Structure 1
Amino acid sequence: MRKGFREMLDEANAEIEAVSPDEAAALLDDDDTIFVDLRDPREIEREGNIPGAKHCTRGMLEFWIDPDSPYHKPFFASGKSFVFFCAGGWRSALATKTAQDMGLEPVKHILGGFTAWKQAGLPIEPAKKK
């Protein structure tokens, strides 16, 4: 039987930690926490970003996390905590579950994503134009 995205989200949400935008914002100045933006570059260009967030498109996440991958990014092996976010919290929920399954911890995601972050009036840095 085919599994739809809603079932996959329900399964992920049952196993991962989610934080509100305000709870996430309290971690912004924590040197032991890395925010990871999973949105497409066009979304970031349009909307801006959470200050200091690293960018990793959802399609590269597994390759960047795995130290055996030729695409591995050392910040994922830093031993720090990770807060994932996307536009609305769906991609980040699935990414958090994937990262957790790969052994990356601690990891959590922002409920409602960047949209909820903006609606809460939390800090945003404009996108850097290329």
Structure 2
Amino acid sequence: MSQANTLIELEPAELADRLESGEVLLVDVREEAEFDAVHIDGAVLMPLSVFDPAALPDADGRTIVFQCAAGGRSARAVAACLAAGLPHSHHLRGGIRAWMSAGLPTVD
């Protein structure tokens, strides 16, 4: 199986670096209330409960990375994209919980 068809997990520090350099479009697949409570700056909300891979925004050459609370829902978003024939295979390992545990900034 090629890397494009496999879940690629990014660690929080790696995602932070890639966000800062503008390489990534971060898609948060948690629900709206979770997002409103706390989220990563620049994340786009697309709840998994209504997720449609065809509705993803134009990443303008950036890598789409999915993120949720702990990693389960974002992995399911990757699976949905791959099943739809889209090459989006990156997600944040451990979700926003790992991000916050690493001491990285959030918007509350």
TM-score with structure 2 length normalisation? Answer: 0.83
Q: CA distance change for structure 1 residues 103 and 79 in 2, over 3 Å: closer, same or farther? A: farther
What residue identity is the alignment partner of 1:49?
H
Does residue 25 of structure 2 align to residue 34 of structure 1? yes
Counterpart of 1:44 (choices 30, 35, 45) is 35
Give structure 1 regions of 4+ aligned residues with deviation exceeding 6 angstroms.
Answer: none
2: CA distance between counterparts of 1:120 and 1:45? 21
% identity of equivalent residues:
32
Aligned residues: 104
Aligned counterpart, 1:5:
none
TM-score with structure 1 length normalisation? Answer: 0.70
Aligned counterpart, 2:8:
17
Counterpart of 1:90 (choices 72, 80, 83) is 72
Aligned counterpart, 2:101:
119
Quote the offset at 1:79 in angstroms.
4.2
What residue identity is the alignment partner of 2:11?
S
Q: Which runs of 5+ in 1 are unaligned?
A: 1-13, 67-71
> Which structure: larger Rg?
1
Task: Answer yes or no: is the 8 Å Cα contact 1:87–1:115 preserved in 2.
Answer: yes
Quote the offset at 1:41 in angstroms.
1.1
Task: Let me know the Cα RMSD of the aligned residues.
Answer: 2.0
